[in-house]
Amino acid sequence: MATATGTPAGTTGGPATRMDGLAWLMLIVLALLWGLSFPFAHIALRGLPVLTLVALRVLLATVTLWAVVALMRLQVPDSRAAWASLLGMGVLNNVIPFSLIVWGQTEIAAGLAAVLIGTTPLFTAFVAGALLPDERITVPRLTGILFGMAGVVVIVGPGVLGDLGHSLWAQCAVLGAALSYSFSSVFARRLRRFSMHPVVLSAGQTLASSAILVPAALIVDRPFGLPMPGADVWLAVLAFAVLGTAVAYILYFAIIARAGATNTMLVTVLNPVFALISGALLLGEAVTLRQVGGLALIALGLSVVDGRLWRPLGAAVARQAEGTRG
């Protein structure tokens, strides 16, 4: 899966191992890359329409990732079933969410979009619990989901009822992207049987996405008839595609290999923080107390769903209760 911009799906079930100093450094860099992707997209939208920007993102990322596949001499899938699954993953993990996020950013701030997309693990917990027998929703998971959804309500704010035709739909589009990411996480289980290298998986799904988005952008936007964007737009597109997508994918999988997929999901808490800061510094966006409070509730919900931060407290309570009974 690719949050914000994109957290690769299909690798979220691995065992958790210890986060050492290098793993934390890589995680912070990854969060920074994904956090910066939101203001990069905002800058690129000044000169490019939505579909053209999204198509350029996946196309440039595809070229970069396949260059890495060639350099590493990785095995490429040769079955129709594998490519059909990569196409499905590309739609759920790239085409739908990338388009919704970028369209949403035409109406809402980059920082707000990042905070809303940070709800992806909460949606994933709910969707996986509903669809997968081994991922049933437990009381802690449900509690975490409710905390996270409360955070979304706080961020969106009580004024949305008077703004139904404006930013509410943009915020709903970004939340729809988070929901699409959650379905891609479940769909990714179909890809495990092909035993693809993670970089090949990323390259394959971006290639499949390009096959859909590039023709769509040519038909809908007719980009060759548009005014030539400035250098700032092209630099933002390049950073958005190469750093925020291709390099971020590779870094993401490196963290998984070193520290496990569960630890890597901590990036979903750091990502909105960097996005809010970079949006304020690069775009002059205001960071509101409501956004910070909503982000705190989302982070609390994620910590409850994950459970690791609360296990020592639960163990201490259990020991105290045992001592009281004794």
- DSSP character at residue 136: P
Q: What is the model's pLDDT at position 308? A: 64
**51-85 b/e (C-beta count within 10 Å ≥ 16 → b):** bbbbbbbbbbbbbbbbebbeeeeeeebeeeebbeb
What is the arithmetic mean of pLDDT over 245-263? 77
Which sign does the torsion angle of CA 107, 110, 116, 120 carry? positive
The C-alpha angle 259, 152, 101, rounded to 5 degrees, equals: 75
| pLDDT higher than threshold 70 for residue 307 | no
Structure token pair of residue 225? 């008839």
Structure token pair of residue 298? 């989302």
| pLDDT higher than threshold 90 for residue 86 | yes
pLDDT band at 144 (very low <50, low <70, confident <90, very high): confident
Q: Are 244 and 29 in contact (CB under 8 A)?
A: no
Which sign does the torsion angle of CA 171, 94, 8, 231 carry? negative
Angle between helices 110-117 and 167-187 (to 10 degrees): 40
CA distance linking residue 249 with residue 180, whole number of Å = 18
Q: What is the model's pLDDT at position 264? A: 67
Helix (H, G, I), strand (E, B) or coil at 6: strand
- Would you say how long the chain is, in residues? 326
Q: Are 123 and 181 in contact (CB under 8 A)?
A: yes
CA distance linking residue 188 with residue 88, whole number of Å = 9
Q: What is the model's pLDDT at position 158? A: 59
Helix (H, G, I), strand (E, B) or coil at 3: strand
CA distance linking residue 250 with residue 272, whole number of Å = 20
pLDDT band at 152 (very low <50, low <70, confident <90, very high): low
What is the arithmetic mean of pLDDT over 205-229? 94
CA distance linking residue 180 with residue 35, whole number of Å = 19
| pLDDT higher than threshold 70 for residue 45 | yes
Please indicate, yes or no, whether the overall pTM of this predicted structure exceeds 0.85. Answer: no
Q: What is the model's pLDDT at position 161? A: 43
